[in-house]
Structure 1
Amino acid sequence: MKKLTLWGYYGFGNVGDEALLDVCLSLMKDVKVDLVCGPMPSVKVSEKLSIVPRSPENLYKSIKSSDGFVLGAGGLIHERAKPLGTYYHLLGPFISKYSRKPYCAIGQQIGPFQRDLTKMLAKKALEKARFITVRDNASQVEASFLGLETTLSADLAFLLNPEDPSGEIKKTIESMPKPRIIFAPASYMKETPSPEFCAKVLGKIISLTGGSLIIIPFFQGKDDEFGEKTEALLPPGRVLRLKSPVDWRDAFGAFNLCDFSVPMRLHSVIASSLACIPALPMPYFQKVRSISSEIGYKTMVEKNDPDWEQKCLSFLSTSQNICQQTVLLSKEMRKRAEITAKLMEDFIGGLERTA
């Protein structure tokens, strides 16, 4: 049986990335996999799955002993304040390229970039990939500027079918009065709305609906701190704050039990879409704006947005239309994600035919 090395942002307590890992492994069920990941993997070693501690040396050894390499999925090739994370993720494609190993990049966000060096490295690392799928239109435009040929797909989380969360979490959420609003915070950079501003927006929606609020962390540690600060500013008795660690299945499934969503993290936006509930995103980064818009969540509250009250009113008054639109658009995104699944099938088939 052939073996692939899988390299992404796995094993660091990020709910969205662990959900992507589950999808990626489902696309690789016919091969053995070396998962190069951080200290908190959400999966267990099996006959076909090896967990390799994340380091450049271990990555090199794994690729050299594998039949192919997969980068992804997720937002791995872009820049914020520091480019080191991007350079680190590009090690895998570079090693594969110069080791003459077949490789691909799946469900990627490409860009935005701030430095010419990063653009050059991304182009050089990926130019020999068997295929590259990107998860949004903006990434395809960025890739074309680099001279990279890509296929428009979607975030691979759209291939998930989240069920309700496990018993205790489900029981706790269902104890809260309806309508339930679910809030997934994101503690990031200067673009992130503050806990104080988030509390104003959430308090307004609670007041207008007469409902309750569920706060759920998608990133262990950072989101818990943000959620705790926000909770302290909201009416007592109306807020349930879940604490890390939260299994990705429970996190995504929690959205099935709620009526409205105020997501900050990208995969909480996608979880809202999969649950077919209206969402009012509070984006902290361009990728959240881009994909939110593509799935019908076009009204967003930005940091210190002067029109936030009007946007809350508009969101609630048009929630039924938002639901109808996002149901259709989510189905379209799933079809797009299936493009990556088919290309992965062909990629693995090509390895099997290689002596």
Structure 2
Amino acid sequence: MRAVLCGYYGKGNGGDEALLAALLQMLPPQVKPLVLSGNPIETQTRYGVAACDRFSVTAVLQALRQSEALIWGGGSLMQDVTSAISPLYYAGVMGLAQQMGLRTIAWAQGIGPLTRPLTRWLTRQVVTHSTAISVRDVGSANLVASWHVPFMLAPDPVWALESEPVPGLWDLPAPRVAVALRPHPQLTPQRLDIFTQALIDFQKASQAYLLLIPFQPVQDLPIAQSIHAHLPETSKILTFTNPRQLKGVFRGVEMTIAMRFHGLIMAAASECRCFAVNYDPKVSQLMQDLNLAGWALDQMPTSSKQISQDWLELYANGEALSSDRIAAIVDRALLHQSVLWDALIASKRN
């Protein structure tokens, strides 16, 4: 069986690449994937799978005609806060696949926010007509439940992604603290200055070596470079193209300070203490689910000393998730795999 995999793949976002890696890890071996990618050659090389240009109408149509299923895979694809065009693209591909008679799986979705009537209606239409649905958070579950559609709720599949060791990581000075920031309108230059000074104060007090990790370098790298310029001897910028190594880096750090949703998941899954900077409902929900320390970006303290003190308190006295709790979350995240097997293999046998 051939299945088309549709998501924000091949666009240089570490979280979305981790979702693709987790999806490929969970696919039944009988399924041959074809990935719609923003960079097909890179996707083919990295994962050893077929790929085509996600923006080529001809290539997408040909991929769908040659396939029996479409997996609409992972992350916040259907939301209209950062882009009004993005949900139109994904709903269009999903709707086309459904019209062509393919089995369609809305997999590990974080649905919303949906502020526009059109995108909300489109999302409801394609989700309602899906063969199977899994969601990764309670907010998405409540929305799908309100549409009276059966679904599976399970933690984000990146919890279950197998990590790989990072060459040279253990040669860097210890202890290590990871920092994963991203641009946001509320991360103003003034707030970034305060944040950077807090990191300087925190580093001096803790003597930790800072690993600055841009999850999406095209967006995040300038912030990492700005911080590194103030801490040239006690920080290092690490960029990854391999999502398994991106997850693996967190096995070598004591604490993580992150805005990035999947940065927090990878760190928590690696028994790392986490401090969340909340800029999005998905981060807020994760903070609540895991009882993570942190604050909302728009409520960030104005005193760098207060911020560094918050970090030092977590560094000295905070606790990571227990190995038992992590194992339980990983087991539940693997329910996304059962959705794939049931929709693609069990239904075919029947």
TM-score clears 0.5? yes
**Displacement of 1:197 after TM fit?**
3.3
With 206-215 and 38-47 compared, the bigger mean Cα shift is at 38-47
Other-structure match for 1:220: 217
Residues 37, 52 of structure 1: 8 Å contact kept: yes
State the AA in 1 paired with 2:237: R
Residues 71, 104 of structure 1: 8 Å contact kept: yes
Q: Does 1:198 align with 2:195?
A: yes
Distance 1:339 1:208 in 2: 43
**Displacement of 1:321 after TM fit?**
6.7
Distance 1:83 1:322 in 2: 40
- Secondary structure of 1:103's partner? strand
Matches within 5 A, 1:247-262: 247-262=242-257
Distance 2:62 2:78 in 1: 23
- Secondary structure of 2:123's partner? helix
Distance 2:142 2:318 in 1: 27
Distance 2:99 2:172 in 1: 56
Residues 217, 223 of structure 1: 8 Å contact kept: yes
| 1:163 to 1:45, Cα distance in 2 relative to 1, 3 A | closer
**Displacement of 1:315 after TM fit?**
4.7
List per-residue Cα deviations over 1:301-325 (Å, max 9, x = no partner): 5245127654643454355775344
**Equivalent residue in structure 1 for 2:332, among 325, 336, 343:** 336
State the AA in 2 paired with 1:335: D
Distance 1:25 1:207 in 2: 42
Distance 2:317 2:143 in 1: 32
Distance 2:310 2:327 in 1: 25
**Displacement of 1:245 after TM fit?**
5.1
Distance 2:49 2:217 in 1: 25
Other-structure match for 2:20: 21
**Displacement of 1:121 after TM fit?**
0.5
- Secondary structure of 2:80's partner? coil
Other-structure match for 1:35: 35
Residues 279, 296 of structure 2: 8 Å contact kept: no
With 345-354 and 69-78 compared, the bigger mean Cα shift is at 345-354
| 1:279 to 1:304, Cα distance in 2 relative to 1, 3 A | same
| 1:230 to 1:326, Cα distance in 2 relative to 1, 3 A | farther
Distance 2:347 2:148 in 1: 26
Residues 297, 322 of structure 1: 8 Å contact kept: no
Residues 176, 253 of structure 2: 8 Å contact kept: yes
**Equivalent residue in structure 2 for 1:313, among 309, 313, 322:** 309
List per-residue Cα deviations over 1:8-65 (Å, max 9, x = no partner): 1111111111111111112223211111111166543699832111124322321222
Q: Does 1:97 align with 2:127?
A: no
Other-structure match for 1:114: 115
List per-residue Cα deviations over 1:150-183 (Å, max 9, x = no partner): 2211111011232321x24x25xx322x321111
Other-structure match for 2:233: 237
Residues 282, 303 of structure 1: 8 Å contact kept: no
Unaligned 5+ residue runs, structure 2? none
**Equivalent residue in structure 1 for 2:285, among 290, 294, 299:** 290
| 1:220 to 1:41, Cα distance in 2 relative to 1, 3 A | farther
Distance 2:325 2:232 in 1: 37
Other-structure match for 1:67: 68
List per-residue Cα deviations over 1:254-305 (Å, max 9, x = no partner): 1111111111111111111121111111122221221233223143352451
| 1:212 to 1:324, Cα distance in 2 relative to 1, 3 A | closer
- Secondary structure of 2:15's partner? helix
State the AA in 1 paired with 2:111: I
Q: Does 1:263 align with 2:258?
A: yes
Residues 183, 261 of structure 1: 8 Å contact kept: yes
**Displacement of 1:328 after TM fit?**
4.6
Distance 1:84 1:259 in 2: 39
List per-residue Cα deviations over 1:193-235 (Å, max 9, x = no partner): 6532331332232133122211011102211111112222x34
RMSD (Å), alpha carbons:
2.6
Residues 37, 43 of structure 2: 8 Å contact kept: no
| 1:255 to 1:45, Cα distance in 2 relative to 1, 3 A | closer
Identity, in percent, stands at: 21
**Displacement of 1:103 after TM fit?**
0.9
Unaligned 5+ residue runs, structure 1? none
| 1:4 to 1:48, Cα distance in 2 relative to 1, 3 A | farther
**Displacement of 1:147 after TM fit?**
4.4
Other-structure match for 2:49: 49
